[in-house]
Amino acid sequence: MKRALFPGSFDPFTIGHQDIVERGIKIFDEIVIGLGINSEKQYMFSLDQRLSFIKACFVNEPRIRVETYKGLTIDFCRDIEAEFILRGVRNNGDFEFEKAIARTNRKLSEIETVFLLTSAQTSYISSSIVRELIRNKGDYSIFIPPQISI
């Protein structure tokens, strides 16, 4: 079985994230969306909220599950028996950053990273932009999946 981990903080989960998962499930038998827990990071949404947001998006897709983890992503991959890490890349900056992490992960493990380019329609969307819209009472609804109610 080809299992991939799609890791992130997903604060909040956007239509860009959803697009990567929906396209990734055509490649992999199963995708685990891994919510990384970082005690030093300040989140807009609680862990429980983020879990419920993502689960609502994939309630009818049994090959996609959502879990939380602490520590190294490659250790969590081993725990869930994922051979792949799935990452979305929006631009050159993302690619350079993700490439360094992928090479480090590959050096430390046998886990391969698979990059999917974001769709043109979602390439400019980021969780930080959505958080800023939410904070300033802007219309963020077009940037998050319709299943998510904030």
Catalytic residue numbers read 17, 41, 90, 127
Question: Per DSSP, what are the bridge partners of residue 86?
Answer: 114
Three-state helix/strand/coil letters over 116-140: EECCCCCCCCCHHHHHHHHHCCCCC
Name the residue among 38, 44, 34 with its Cα closest to residue 144. 44
33 close to 66: Cβ distance less than 8 angstroms: yes
